Amino acid sequence: MLGNSFGRFFKVTTCGESYGGAFRRNPDIPGELRGGLMTIIDGVPSGLKLTADMIQAELDKRRPGQSELDTPRKEKDKVYIYSGVMENDITTGAPIGMLIPNTDIDEQHVEKHRSYLDFIRPGQAGYTYYKKFGQNADLYGAGRASGRETAARVAAGAVAKAVLDGLGIDVISFVTEIHGIKSGDISYEIAKANYRKNELNCPDLENAVRMIDEIKKIKAEGDSCGGVVEIIARGVASGLGEPVFDKLSATIAHGIMSIGSVKGLEFGAGFEHTRMKGSESNDKPYLDKDTGRVRFKTNNAGGLLGGISNGEDIRIRVAVKPTPTISVTQSTVDVKNLENTDISFKTRNDPCICPRIYPVCEAMVRIAILDAIYMAKGYRELSFLDDKWDRL
């Protein structure tokens, strides 16, 4: 399996599966080492304050079993830092290694997944995993395709956050739509003021009630629903990203689109640009007399021009599909007997992924931005530009 690393200078590598450890209940192996998720991060600067509590705070945002809106699975998502930090909680500059053990992998749940292994789950990656890995694919709880894989990303994003906080860069994500029920326009200030004030993390507190009721209604039907998650990155300096294949927009899109269940994204006005004239779409620049820097009167571009950051807020909207595992009977294929059949998959699923996917979006955007900062600072250090361009 390839493609388990993301980033170039700030490089994140993850491994682990949803039910890893369920088959290694050996008394000689400590429970924390039987299976779970691991994250290794290259490029963490030395001298950074980093504690397990800082990582845990981010992991707790996506931890399952916290409300009626997510899976009843009771994973603790407890993180252990096992390399790259000294006893004073200061990074050494060596790779950061982290472990998140799997804990909710009782035999009853393993057996339920085992009973479904010969059936292709609609909307899941089981079929394509069969095509790519054959009979050796780990399909218990969707294996590497499980949403549980994202806990390793959130842990890495927490490390990126520790660096970005020192640079004055804030990345915040929140839910703005559930099954067609939309919030009003959410500014950065509203998003910060109402961050995580409800189990959905929708800053529009009035419409959030309607969205939550809709999720509960669909859950009672044994079905699921999707929605929209937005991300704002504030404090990102202009000039990040490379002009062609490594645009900052492309790197962010790579990170976001690599998250399971994400089916689309747009920057700034996104598809609304198709309904505008150029005179409406263009963000007009002006010189801010207070700072002496160029700003823009609007932000239809979402903080990016030519794929390079322009100093305005980077704004992203992400389309999240309904959870594919549902209790409703669906038609499928029995791959063992090669015949069509109908089946209902009764496992512990989220009725909606949005309440737990927003911290994953925050993590991937943080990682992409920090990696771009490394690239930009390295390039600038060796360039011969006049300092006046730094002040523009």
Domains of the chain with bracketed CATH: 5-268+303-391 (3.60.150.10)
pLDDT range class, residue 338, cuts 50, 70, 90: very high
pLDDT range class, residue 177, cuts 50, 70, 90: very high
Q: Quote the pLDDT of residue 392.
A: 74
Question: Which has the higher per-residue pLDDT, 50 or 381?
Answer: 50
pLDDT range class, residue 130, cuts 50, 70, 90: confident
Could you tell me how far CA 186 lies from the centroid of its own chain?
20
Residues forming a β-bridge with 308: 305
- Least confident span in 200-209, 259-268, 337-346: 337-346
pLDDT range class, residue 30, cuts 50, 70, 90: confident
For residue 168, which amino acid is it?
G
pTM of the model: 0.94
Longest dimension (CA), the chain: 73
Question: Which has the higher per-residue pLDDT, 153 or 385?
Answer: 153
Q: Quote the pLDDT of residue 250.
A: 98
360 pLDDT exceeds 80?
yes
320 pLDDT exceeds 80?
yes
Mean pLDDT of 164-176: 98
Sheet order of strands, 96-101 included: 5-6, 11-16, 36-42, 96-101, 80-83
Cβ of 194: how many Cβ atoms within 10 Å?
Answer: 17
Instruction: Please name which of 156, 168, 145, 169 lies closest in space to residue 324, comparing C-alpha atoms.
Output: 145
